[in-house]
Structure 1
Amino acid sequence: MLAALFFVSTQAFSQDVVGTWKTIDDETGKAKSHVKIYKNKSGVVFGRVVKILDPKKRDATCSKCPEKYNGFGKKGQKVLGMLILKGLAKDDDEYNGGNIFDPNKGKSYRCYITLKGKDKLKVRGFIGTRYVGRTQYWYRVK
């Protein structure tokens, strides 16, 4: 019974990537948006833009997205509400095997995410190898 109680308590206190995260632009250092990360019934991770922090960009549409829907968005679609993270599965301490979409460039990249403490998320998008890409740190919205 003690072992069961220990297992339940450690599960309750273990951190997860699910929640709302403030995105920080790795090039400017400025906060850009809030992304809600969630899991489907199979535990696969997805993320959707739920808030744009710059009032001038709240009605922005994806001008560099492809003409046809690419699994993330298409040209003219509002960035607010857009799916930008999909297909990540838990693999030890990280979620990987999915993609991230940059609506500013209209491109998707392979991706992995890792918790760096309970309120900091490392988000790495890359092409080909993990060593050629960009890293952003997102912060949990309380």
Structure 2
Amino acid sequence: MKKPVLALAALLLASPLLAAQPVEGRWVTEERDAVITIGDCGKSLCGRITKFLVAPPQGVDQRDVNNRNASLRNRKLLGMPVLTGFMEDGDEWRGQIYDPKSGKTYRSIIRRLNATTLQVKGCLGPFCQTQTWKRAR
């Protein structure tokens, strides 16, 4: 009788290991051109461009000129959300990522690999492109 109880206790204690690592904080993009700050946005997590490390072509006042939605093309990139709707799903976070360079939005999966590394995937159908972001200092 003790063995099933011990097995159940071990399973319950192991469950938190399946939870996603927190991803909140400041992250430098793989291209090292911006800092994205990930934090709480109501019921989900989002990430905003909070600093340019390399100025965009039209300077720090760059607008979202490539957006497919003409009504959004006048918004500033600085402060704009590029990660939206992220919800915890097992050991990763799922939501959407917006690429201001192409003006396209993709399905996205992010996962913290360790204290200083974030894996960011953007997917179109079954095809995904993966980037590695580093924690900003």
TM-score (normalised: structure 1): 0.75
**Following superposition, which runs of at least 4 residues in structure 1 exceed 2 angstroms of deviation?**
none
Q: Which residue of 1 aligns with 2:61?
A: 59
Gaps of 5+ in 1: 1-6, 26-30, 69-73
Alignment of 1:96-135 (within 5 A): 96=94, 98-129=95-126, 132-135=127-130
The count of aligned residue pairs is 117
TM-score (normalised: structure 2): 0.77
| RMSD of aligned residue pairs (Cα, Å) | 2.0
Gaps of 5+ in 2: 1-12
Instruction: Point out the more displaced range, 99-108 or 47-56.
Output: 47-56
Contact 1:62 1:76 in 2 (8 A): yes
- How far apart, in 1, do the equivalents of 2:108 and 2:116 lie? 19
Q: Percent identity?
A: 32
Distance 1:93 1:15, change over 3 A: closer
Alignment of 1:2-21 (within 5 A): 15-21=21-27
